[in-house]
Structure 1
Amino acid sequence: MFYMKKLFIAIASISLISCGTQLPEIKPDIITDSTLHDTDDPAIWVNQENTEESIVFGTDKETDGAIYAFDLNGKIIEEKTLRGMKRPNNVDVEYQVKLNDSVTTDILMFTEREREQIRLFSVPDMKPLDRGGFKVFQEKRENEWNFPMGISIYKSPKTGKAYAIVGRKNGPKTNYLQQFELVPAGDHIQFKLVREFGNFSGEKEIEAIAVDEELGYVYYSDEKVCVKKYYAEPDAGNEELSCFGKENFNRDIEGIAIATYKDGEGYILVSDQQQGTFNVFDRKTNEFLFAKNLGTTETDGCEVYTGYLNEKFPNGLFVAMNDNKNFYFYDLSKIVKAK
């Protein structure tokens, strides 16, 4: 009986460690100022001329919502913050996107769920480039099929064209996502639908979307099933390439961040929302490597940058949403090793 009791305790301990509850907590280097409502998803814009003046954008997901701009000390930059948004959900940035034959700009893009549209602004001057927004998913206005949620930008290394890849609150079992080409139109950008793709289990929803531009893949979280992988190039095929990670998550599979290093090396970091941890997968093989406890609660979105920013973040920056109206910033070397 004593032996069986010891065996049970040992098995329980192994189980707890494997699911992350015994992982040592990694403290954030910076906790941002608080938003008004409900943080959800971050994006990192790197100032190429002065990395110390880079900006972390983060959504505040409410009817009276906003895209907050934070400096690298986590302080709100009010003049860069976009207020008056109707439930902004996910956000992404891209560099040197064409406005016309002679002008390019860095861009910020996000979904505005309650207005059923995509928004697009220049960075860092925060000027609208979408003439008020672009409506999406209008073909079926019921069962939340028309509400955009996840978004990621893909800029093709092959053609230089930029694309928005957008998911929704609910939708069909196939062609759950839509991909739009960003078409230069002089002083603004137009959207052209070029592809529908992506399988959906129907179990919960698809929110987190991330693109590996260099390797040409798009990943998204089918929240109770797995991380799914497809080609990002619109003419490369719509077959599902992989469905991985199911056994490594407690329940909801959420935010995805891709840490990129030379020669295709790197990591895919994914939020295990109810477990309060992040699972780390190999960028090339998608094999599970390890989990880390970053002390966040109910994390939706996350983002990563692998280069030098300042003395506090010399090895890169990892940003995670925390369920207390804020975001946590970490020096990346606390989480993964450079490859």
Structure 2
Amino acid sequence: MTVRRSGWPASLLLCAALVASAVPAHADDARPSPEGFGLPSVTPRAETAALFDDERGGHADADDPAIWRDDTSPGRSLVVATAKEGGLRVYDLAARRIQSVPAPPPPASGDAPGRFNNVDLLHGVRLPNGRADLAVVSDRGHDRLRFYRIDRDRPGGPLVDVTDPAAAPIFSVDQEEINEGRTAYGLATWTDRSTGRSYALASRNDSTAVALLEVVVRPGGTVGYRAVRTLELPASFRLPDGTSWTPCGEPGELPQVEGMVVDPANGMLYAGQEDVGIWRVRSDLTGAPVLIDRVREYGVPAAYDEESDECLPSGADPGFGGEHLSADVEGLTLLTEPDGDGYVLASSQGDDSFALYDRELGDDNEYEGGFRVTAASRRLDGSEECDGAAVLNAPLGAAYPNGLLVVQDGHETPVEDGREATDFTFVDLGEVLDAIDD
């Protein structure tokens, strides 16, 4: 889970929590946001078993999901999700785990272990033994991409590692640099409809860099990649009053990107720079990036405090921030509709909400609304501090005939033995569409 580096002091957060607790709770009420109680709520149908980021839990920390549809039997579709040092988890539509894939070990004693951060899918990739769907993972621990062929009926689990063992680091020059942790982080995949070539976009931890990589199938059937180009997003910003603003972070850290998604209809990449907002740029990383929305904290002076290991406000809010996102901007996914319309969906981690933006470039990706995922019962909670999200607007059997939204929950409740836990929450997409249409 991303630790929010720019935020308000704990005392202010506690004050806000006390105010919220004084408000009567109703099933249809949303949690308070800076604009009030305007967002509708939806409730989950299912959630996975808790993941624990400690030695007893295998250092497993839920982060990012992807939804794979079984076209021949949609009710047997799968959710593939990252668990960081815990590797990959594969779930059925009842949120039951059917496979666990460990992250690779460190290459040598003292080196960083594998750490799976984000996952995305490629469909119909031509392998030597036929076409296959692939789960693609950013291995933050080793600064590489990893590829897994999806075979729903394979004994032992549907994922098979087909990663080229000679795949090189994406950003680092050697193992020493990999161990420093400025490695592959966010991920989005896409296939160019005009050429049939598949690509991955990987962002870099603690950096503004996004790399474009062409996916390459080797003669032996393994899958690797080659670097095409890298884009550096801004790290500092000129504000309307003529001053300059740099998002706060630990010394040496730049405002990174994690959540990313490509719209195949127009070839645009949407990238969430966590402490800044959402960028739109061509997915081949050419052309000028456009900032389509800003976080509320945009332009707010803040300074890193070593004692608390947090960024604390150091001046008044100049009022240049956006209205719909609270840092961090996290999981981005594409909600398509049969008529070609739809939304770019983003996790607004700072206020536990989700924001929707029009896909149409002619509307300049106008904000269309938002919602929250709140508890259905004491045992089936909602989503807080969401890191990752995936949506599929297609029938998935009897369980989800209207499609499925899967979101990470950064605070699984109730806790077990006081341990912090995360999980993945499954929501009927029909309920989400009804909520945002009302």
Match of 1:31 among 47, 65, 81: 47
Match of 1:83 among 91, 98, 102: 102
Give the C-alpha shift of residue 143 in structure 1.
10
Highest CA radius of gyration, 1 or 2? 2
| Kept after mapping to 2: 8 A contact 1:21/1:275 | no
Superposed counterparts of 1:32-47, under 5 Å:
32-35=48-51, 36=57, 37-47=60-70
Contiguous gaps of at least 5 residues in structure 2: 1-22, 24-30, 52-56, 105-113, 152-157, 237-246, 248-254, 296-321, 375-382, 413-421
Per-residue CA deviations over 1:4-63 (Å, capped at 9, x if unaligned) read xxxxxxxxx9x946546564532101111223431110011111111111110111123x
> What letter corresponds to residue 211 of structure 2 in structure 1?
Q
Superposed counterparts of 1:117-136, under 5 Å:
117-124=144-151, 125-132=158-165, 133-136=167-170
Superposed counterparts of 1:305-316, under 5 Å:
305-316=392-403
1:52 equivalent to 2:75? Answer: yes
- Alignment correspondent of 1:321: 408
Match of 1:243 among 292, 301, 314: 292
Distance change in 2, residues 1:23/1:74 (3 Å)? same
RMSD of the TM alignment (CA)? 2.5
Per-residue CA deviations over 1:140-186 (Å, capped at 9, x if unaligned) read 838957411101111111111000110010225xxx11111112222
- Alignment correspondent of 2:216: 183
Secondary structure of the corresponding residue to residue 41 of structure 2: coil
**How high is the TM-score relative to the length of structure 2?**
0.67
Distance, in Å, in 1 between the alignment partners of 2:256 and 2:385 is: 16
| Kept after mapping to 2: 8 A contact 1:254/1:270 | yes
Distance, in Å, in 1 between the alignment partners of 2:211 and 2:431 is: 36
Give the C-alpha shift of residue 107 in structure 1.
0.2
- Alignment correspondent of 2:17: none
User: Which sits farther off after the overlay, 241-250 or 121-130?
Assistant: 241-250
Match of 1:193 among 217, 221, 227: 227
Distance change in 2, residues 1:93/1:20 (3 Å)? farther
> What letter corresponds to residue 277 of structure 1 in structure 2?
S
Distance, in Å, in 2 between the alignment partners of 1:318 and 1:88 is: 21
Superposed counterparts of 1:24-173, under 5 Å:
24-35=40-51, 36=57, 37-62=60-85, 65-78=86-99, 81-85=100-104, 86-100=114-128, 103-124=130-151, 125-132=158-165, 133-139=167-173, 141=177, 146-172=182-208
Contiguous gaps of at least 5 residues in structure 1: 1-12
Superposed counterparts of 1:217-228, under 5 Å:
217-228=268-279
| Kept after mapping to 2: 8 A contact 1:277/1:292 | yes
Distance, in Å, in 1 between the alignment partners of 2:32 and 2:425 is: 25
Match of 1:264 among 340, 346, 351: 340
| Kept after mapping to 2: 8 A contact 1:40/1:90 | yes
Distance change in 2, residues 1:99/1:146 (3 Å)? farther
Per-residue CA deviations over 1:59-86 (Å, capped at 9, x if unaligned) read 1123xx12000000000002xx211442
How many positions carry a matched residue from both structures?
Answer: 317
Secondary structure of the corresponding residue to residue 87 of structure 2: strand
Percent sequence identity is 26
- Alignment correspondent of 1:8: none
Give the C-alpha shift of residue 264 in structure 1.
3.2
| Kept after mapping to 2: 8 A contact 1:216/1:232 | yes
Structure whose residues are more often strand by fraction:
1
Distance, in Å, in 2 between the alignment partners of 1:21 and 1:251 is: 19
- Alignment correspondent of 1:6: none
